[in-house]
């Protein structure tokens, strides 16, 4: 079971403790404008990091590349994977498939989950749970064409646990009406995986301008929204399918639901009991009791 070649971004994070101060400056410059900064010349990247050209070359070798051109080739390969259309994903796999699709898919999902958990910092997870568990902070949630299902699932559970949780309409044309109610203290949870959506990027920009903090769930490459998000969860999404898998995203979502409920157990228990009481006394739900 493999999750494919390591991303340059992951290599940078993994190498942090081994880097000199100057090399960390190069790593920071790469991550600030990833992956485009790495496609600049050595001279240009060195200028952005305020270091010498040889420092850039040393960093590339520390990451396991023979030189800077090899690092750039890895970044170009990542970008090609990132923008690949669903139909091209299948073409790229033709002739390389072995075994039953159920087992291949399960192996890919298991690798995605392992890679996601390995990368997810526990302090970051706890910080997100703290943000979402604070009912003085309104929470708005939105997803894209595919990830809207993840957004709906998350909102449905959080709304039972705490008040003030709203899922945005599927129509971006009415999003400004939600943005009116956003301000300092607001948490905007967004789901955006590759073939990133411009509407979500604009939503994030406008919300941040009004003082909201963005919690972003994205893929291993990272939505452009990551540059303005307060917290980012990168989940691996590759699967033997024309479409990406969001099962690793769902794992983190469900773990966050459990964490938020644990933080708010007394309050959430009252809400759940009240909700169950309504279900048991409302005629339309009586047949399901």
Specify the CATH number for the domain of residue 186: 3.40.50.10490
- Domain contains 188: yes
In whole angstroms, give the CA distance from residue 49 to residue 23: 9
d(CA 45, CA 49): 6
CA distance 189 to 140: 6
- pLDDT tens track for 183-200: 999 999 999 998 889 999
Pair (48, 124) in one structural domain: no
Whether 252 maps to a domain, the answer reads: yes
In a domain, 107, yes or no: no
Do residue 171 and residue 42 come from a single domain? no
Same domain for 63 and 143, yes or no, is no
d(CA 89, CA 242): 6
Judge whether 62 lies within some domain.
yes
pLDDT of residue 80: 74
- pTM of the predicted model, to two decimals? 0.69
Task: Please identify which residue in the block is written with the tokens 């301008």.
Answer: 209
User: Does 242 share its domain with 146?
Assistant: yes
Domain boundary among 33, 62, 83: 83
Average pLDDT over residues 219-226: 86
Question: Is 289 within the bounds of a domain?
Answer: no
> Is pLDDT of 279 > 70?
yes
Mean local confidence (pLDDT), 68-94: 71
Report DSSP state, residue 27: H
Residue 264 domain-assigned?
yes
Contacts 24+ apart (CB under 8 A), 69-78: 71/8, 71/38, 72/38, 72/39, 74/5, 74/8, 75/8, 75/35, 75/38, 75/39, 76/39, 77/5, 78/7, 78/8, 78/35, 78/221
Q: How many distinct structural domains can be found in the chain?
A: 2
- Residue 285: the pLDDT is 56
- Residue 96: per-residue pLDDT: 53
**pLDDT, mean over the chain:** 87
Q: What range does the domain containing 216 cover?
A: 115-278
pLDDT band at residue 4 under the 50/70/90 scheme: low
Look up the CATH number of the domain holding residue 42. 1.10.10.10
Outline where the chain has alpha helix (H). 8-14, 21-32, 42-49, 53-62, 68-83, 86-93, 101-119, 122-133, 148-161, 175-179, 198-209, 247-263, 265-281, 283-286
Q: What is the pLDDT of residue 288?
A: 46
Question: Of all residues in the chain, what percent carry a pLDDT higher than 70?
Answer: 90
pLDDT tens digit sequence for 10-52: 899 889 889 999 999 999 888 877 887 888 889 989 998 999 9
Per the CB < 8 A criterion, the answer to whether 45 and 59 are in contact is no
Residue 208 falls inside a structural domain: yes
């Amino acid at each position: 079971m493999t999750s494919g070649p390591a991303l340059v971004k992951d290599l940078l994070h993994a190498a942090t403790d081994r880097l000199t101060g100057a090399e960390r400056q190069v790593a920071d410059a790469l991550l600030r404008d990833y992956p485009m900064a790495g496609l600049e010349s050595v001279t240009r990247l060195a200028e952005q990091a305020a270091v010498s050209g040889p420092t850039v070359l040393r960093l590339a070798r520390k990451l396991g590349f023979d030189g800077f051109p090899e690092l750039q080739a890895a970044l170009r390969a990542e970008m090609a994977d990132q923008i690949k259309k669903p139909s091209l994903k299948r073409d790229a796999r033709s002739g390389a498939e072995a075994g039953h699709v159920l087992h291949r898919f399960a192996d890919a999902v298991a690798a995605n989950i392992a890679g996601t958990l390995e990368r997810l910092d526990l302090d970051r997870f706890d910080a997100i749970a703290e943000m979402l568990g604070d009912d003085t902070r309104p929470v708005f949630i939105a997803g894209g064409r595919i990830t809207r299902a993840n957004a709906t699932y998350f909102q449905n559970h959080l709304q039972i646990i705490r008040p003030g949780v709203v899922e945005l309409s599927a129509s971006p044309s009415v999003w400004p009406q939600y943005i009116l109610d956003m301000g300092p203290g607001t948490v905007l949870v967004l789901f955006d995986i590759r073939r990133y959506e411009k509407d979500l990027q604009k939503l994030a920009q406008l919300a941040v301008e009004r003082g909201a903090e963005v919690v972003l769930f994205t893929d291993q490459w990272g939505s452009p929204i990551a540059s303005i998000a307060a917290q980012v969860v990168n989940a691996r999404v590759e699967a033997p399918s024309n479409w990406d898998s969001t099962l690793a995203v769902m794992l983190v979502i469900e773990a966050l639901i459990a964490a938020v409920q644990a933080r708010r157990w007394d309050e959430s228990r009252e809400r759940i009991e009240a909700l169950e009481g309504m279900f048991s006394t409302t005629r339309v739900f009586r047949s399901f009791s």
